[in-house]
Structure 1
């Protein structure tokens, strides 16, 4: 894994978790629920994030639409 002098190795993960906290409904009230419920909500958000969320690098299109245009 990463060593101490390479502080930017974790930048993508930190960015994702910042987006998760901002865009999803994973809030303190969710944290008070069971772990399995929290995992379910995070899993739902990951599906949204990976399939339907607009990406600026893809011209503000979801990945599925971008793949159709590229094909």
Structure 2
């Protein structure tokens, strides 16, 4: 992170607001995407494809009330924050 001048999107140890959001996302991803697909019977590439599909769905299709019933990408575009 330091080498490329990037800032972590989750907080440091003990910073619960950031960590709770990240943990909530990964918990939902495992519950909704990976576990129902019996990941232990899948290849590494198949699991990575499931994870990629889940992330793409969360960013582009999953609507949230807190974002005015839009998905994250649609909301950012409506605010002029994304192309």
TM superposition score normalised by structure 2: 0.61
CA separation of 1:59 and 1:53: change in aligned 2, threshold 3 A: same
**Corresponding pairs, count:** 67
Q: Considering only aligned residues, what root-mean-square deviation do their CA atoms show, in Å?
A: 2.5
The runs of 5 or more residues in structure 1 that have no matched partner are none
Out of 55, 61, 66, the position equivalent to 2:64 is 55
Out of 19, 34, 45, the position equivalent to 1:10 is 19
**Larger RCO: Structure 1 or Structure 2 (Cα < 8 Å, ≥ 6 residues apart)?**
1
Task: Within 5 Å, give how 1:12-27 maps onto structure 2.
Answer: 12-24=21-33, 26-27=34-35
Give the whole-Å Cα distance in 2 for the aligned partners of 1:64 and 1:2. Answer: 26
- If each structure's helix is expressed as a fraction of its own residues, which one has the higher value? 1
The runs of 5 or more residues in structure 2 that have no matched partner are 1-10
